Structure 1
């Protein structure tokens, strides 16, 4: 059977505690980064997949938040999923606790819309400890001014393309040189674009144009999103100016280090049936037919 074989596809923003991950491989996703609320069972390292190719999971452990901060009061947040960090002197222990539980990224929340946010000194201490431990920091930045706070503090990755405000060009240019953004455009309306979708798309268009690194991510578990590749997300990335090859790069990027090709014990790849369309208009439909297959499954496929 003809097809295109590509490195294993990544969704860089999921919440495994809120979904059934067993369908992800059939939907083309082989790797995920759980950004808060899920930890593996004792002795386990991955969520269940299908066949002989289990889903590869990197995770953040608990959300690190201010006392009373997001998402502690949210009904969807699993019990025990938030670690409140009240003072700078508590930061190192909070980071170390996540890493001891197998985390390969640290997630902080800066959502001023939903409650208190980490103070500047506490945020700086969390980032300093994570970087001492060679671990990237991902931030949920929501509310006016929170994305720039994350940038100034030295956050490595934004869990969402900024959507609360239009960022000025000079800031976007500076961010593009130092940060990675995870796309998550489709959560703003799930196919019925909102004002947040428009702001996020505008910010991401300029971030990409300035050379910023974009990762494909959906915030899976947040609303009616497909279990697998999301055509609406891919269409949105194409509309903000990413080429089909750049979208494939966002899907196959090695993030974090624990999710790189060196950790691919099953030799998992993403396989897309048929020939790649020559017309870019057919790209999204084609790529969304991908399946994640292990080395042994690939041998049977061909």
Structure 2
């Protein structure tokens, strides 16, 4: 049993950590003065708010420090099985090992189900299902977009049907494509129809907004999140202020080339959005190029460049509550350490 400092999602607290059989347990109660103190701090698994698991080897997540991912564009028939507890199962012993997966194909549909056969930690998978896009809209013409990962919408009826299908599949949000640089976008009425249909199912809309005015338009029409920090244009300060009051931004800064205008614009927008009180969420667009299947140091560096550091960076990473999660991570050497220094907490740490 050790005294431990832990991050509860908002700030730092003191508690007690010990073993309960094969599990590590953290309790939010004042430790006795004579308890030895853990040489580091405890935090839950991090969240990547923008991934595409059909484009990566998702089994590598089990050896990462991510505790949750949000897939923003996949065939719901493929991604839904990965969201089940039986697919990414937590045995509770806190070991992060590369798992041995059995690829079991359902005879009725030929859909792969990945069943964990080792004791690695569970990564929670939330998903939007398919992109909703106009006929011929982004990403319908992209070679990387798997079959079923987008649904072309023609009118209000097909929009409502698509939202119902994603919600019935277990989606936690709805993804709308609004990329004016790569094809048609929804008119205002149809965009609002999707927002209203999603709201009726208790779901928010995440918009891929690209092209002049699209970020402002998506926010005005009711999107709750932007899938990418705006990079098409530098937003005016009054536009930043309005967005900070109504939407959150998923960062994805590292997808842009290091010296590109798009990256410079996105970092500048994020810096001012954060300063205005806007919520920035860590997200990498995992699968967009050779991105790590895990925490991305380049994304963290870009967030720091936008003046998001320390506790603000941890809030952007949205760590799971370590009081509820079996995944407890130790960051060394202290509360200002780089999140990439996180590692699994093991029983050996309680012997010191």
The structure that is helix-richer by fraction is 1
- Counterpart for residue 256 of structure 1: none
- TM-score with structure 2 length normalisation? 0.75
The correspondence of residues 37-56 of structure 1 with structure 2, limited to 5 A, is 37-39=74-76, 41=78, 45-46=83-84, 48=88, 50=99, 51-56=119-124
The structure that is strand-richer by fraction is 2
Is 1:216 aligned with 2:282? yes
Is 1:289 aligned with 2:333? no
Per-residue CA deviations over 1:93-135 (Å, capped at 9, x if unaligned) read 1101001111011000001111111121110000011111111
More divergent stretch after superposition (7-16 vs 42-51): 42-51
- Counterpart for residue 256 of structure 2: 188
| Aligned-residue offset at 1:88 | 2.0
Q: Secondary structure at the match of 1:33?
A: strand
| Aligned-residue offset at 1:52 | 3.5
* Structure 2 residues not aligned, in runs of 5+: 1-37, 89-97, 100-118
The correspondence of residues 141-152 of structure 1 with structure 2, limited to 5 A, is 141-152=209-220
User: How many angstroms apart in 1 are the aligned matches of 2:161 and 2:328?
Assistant: 38
| CA gap 1:43/1:220 in 2 versus in 1, 3 angstroms | closer
- TM-score with structure 1 length normalisation? 0.86
Q: Computing the radius of gyration over CA atoms, which structure comes out larger, 1 or 2?
A: 2
More divergent stretch after superposition (62-71 vs 269-278): 269-278
User: How many angstroms apart in 2 are the aligned matches of 1:149 and 1:298?
Assistant: 48
* Structure 1 residues not aligned, in runs of 5+: 254-259
What is the root-mean-square deviation of aligned Cα atoms in Å?
2.3
| CA gap 1:263/1:220 in 2 versus in 1, 3 angstroms | farther
| CA gap 1:211/1:138 in 2 versus in 1, 3 angstroms | same
The correspondence of residues 81-230 of structure 1 with structure 2, limited to 5 A, is 81-189=149-257, 192-230=258-296
| Aligned-residue offset at 1:10 | 0.2
- Counterpart for residue 244 of structure 1: 310
Q: Secondary structure at the match of 2:147?
A: coil
| Aligned-residue offset at 1:300 | 6.7
The correspondence of residues 69-88 of structure 1 with structure 2, limited to 5 A, is 69-88=137-156
| CA gap 1:13/1:120 in 2 versus in 1, 3 angstroms | same
